Amino acid sequence: MNEKEMLIQNVNNAMCLTKKMKPLESEIGNLEFKLETQIPKKFFIFCILFLINIVCTLEQLIVYGSLNLNSAALSVIFGFILYITGIKTIMDKSIAQKSLPVINRKLSKIKNYDTLSWLPGEYRTSVCINAINRYVSAGRAETLKEALILLDMDSHLEQMENVA
């Protein structure tokens, strides 16, 4: 079996793993985005609204000397909604922080299967395996080295396009 045939066989064997890897990689990306962007924004907005609620309530107490029933009820209801939203945001963060290592371990197990031993570690992703499959199928690469060079060049071009 020559190098090209071995590469085709390795890629074909690895393609079934990409179906398992893709959802895990996607979930990791979603959780990381949630932890880095969405949750901090939600928590910041929650804190600002909670402070506004407190300031408005205090302002009414200072200006009028008391709260009327409607204002007090609205303030309590709004404060309670903000409190629940804050608690939910903290729980979402906790769940994401607990889920991330579990999903990473599952993905790591798949990446260490013997089926992928022919592929260097940093290229053991569904995106890389699919790209290598495209290069080999299209005749752009006949060896693993050629496929990895094409992959690196395409990644570099994509990064340059994103910068521009």
Tokens standing for residue 102: 């579990």
pLDDT at 42: 86
pLDDT at 6: 92
Backbone angles phi, psi at 138, to 5 degrees: -85, -5
Under 8 Å between Cβ of 107 and 18? no
Angle between helices 69-111 and 3-33 (to 10 degrees): 160
List, in order, residues 6 or more apart from 100 with CB less than 8 Å away. Answer: 28, 31, 32, 35
- Low-confidence stretches of the chain (pLDDT < 70) are 67, 164
Q: How far apart are CA 119 and CA 15, in angstroms?
A: 13
DSSP state of 139: T
Q: How far apart are CA 21 and CA 115, in angstroms?
A: 13
Tokens standing for residue 84: 């629940």
Backbone angles phi, psi at 66, to 5 degrees: -165, 170
pLDDT at 145: 95
pTM, rounded to two decimals: 0.77
